[in-house]
Amino acid sequence: MKSQALGGSSLVSSRLAYGCMRIAGTMDRSRLTAEREAAGRGAVLAAWEAGYTHFDHADIYGDGLCEEIFGRVLRDVPGMRDRVVVASKCGIRWQGDPGPSAPHRWDFSREHIVRSCEGSLRRLGTDRLDLYMLHRPDYLADPQEIAAAFDALKRQGKVLEFGVSNFRPSLLAAVRRACPMRLVVNQVEIHLARLDCLEDGTLDQCLADGVTPVSWSPLARGLLGDGGRPDPADPRAAGLRALLEVLDATARRLGVSRTVLSLAWLLRHPAGVVPVVGSTDPARIRDAAGADGLELGREDWYTMLTAARMRALP
């Protein structure tokens, strides 16, 4: 798989990342079985062998189990740690943390950012995170406090590069101004069933400021992948069915799967979108890697966009 630098930094990522959110098979620690862990390890190894070198985590995935399982893979595969980008995120706190009266919330306080990072490092069994991101845009975010937390982690050698996830362009700009270091990625939801980032300035900002957009759920939770079908109750169901018909016809003509085509549509954007593949099926993980070899022409790209918009371009 080809590679690219993240946000002009020294970090080099495969063109597609592997998302580790599901590798524990559960969000309940008491339900982690040997079989579930083996399946998760198998998914990680399939991604590694298929050329993925960027592995995406968050402290909340599997209640920390996903980081632990991945850490055991890093320990067991010689040389893997120094050849991959290990990324994680923080900032989401569940109801009941730390006490029963605490609500579900987002937390970008300096204390929480630093504590969460140290927890991820322990679970991953590594002395550094290559990329550390803020997960959801805390409405009480103080750019100066975020900058202080990032600076402390950078000086201590615990994080190499920083980024954000799901940030509005205005908040990203405010945090960038406060931080003494660059922010190299913005991980956002963009795919053919969600085009907001094309219209709200997110991708424009990435192009202007050299920020790499990372696409989470690039197949719209399986809708855009092989066999995906819209929910009949979805008010856009008819339009989504028409979109899938266009994708299937184009995929047949190009001799690729619908999954590969949908991912290649993202890869075509000049901002250098890095889609995060989240399947735990080794065959699907390997198939998705083929998107890196498909270069879409403008005509096909715009045909797919028009179908996704469900209305003609002006």
Of 20, 116, 105, the closest CA to residue 67 belongs to: 20
Residue carrying structure tokens 């679970």: 123
Q: How far apart are the first and last CA of the chain?
A: 37
Query: What residue ranges in the chain does DSSP mark as E strands?
Result: 3-5, 12-14, 17-19, 54-56, 85-90, 92-93, 105-106, 129-134, 159-165, 183-188, 212-215, 274-277
Query: What residue ranges in 113-257 does DSSP mark as E strands?
Result: 129-134, 159-165, 183-188, 212-215
CA distances from 255 to 171, 245, 285, 290, 293 (A): 42, 15, 18, 11, 12
Residue carrying structure tokens 């998107």: 291
User: Encoding tokens for residue 289?
Assistant: 């890697």
Pairing type for strands 92-93 and 105-106 reads antiparallel
Residue 122: φ, ψ to 5°: -60, -45
- Of these residues, 52, 61, 139, 302, which one is catalytic? 61
Residue carrying structure tokens 């946000």: 7
Alpha-carbon span 297 to 155, nearest angstrom: 45
Residue 51: φ, ψ to 5°: 105, 5
Give yes or no: 132 in active site.
no
Q: Looking at the annotation, which residues are catalytic?
A: 61
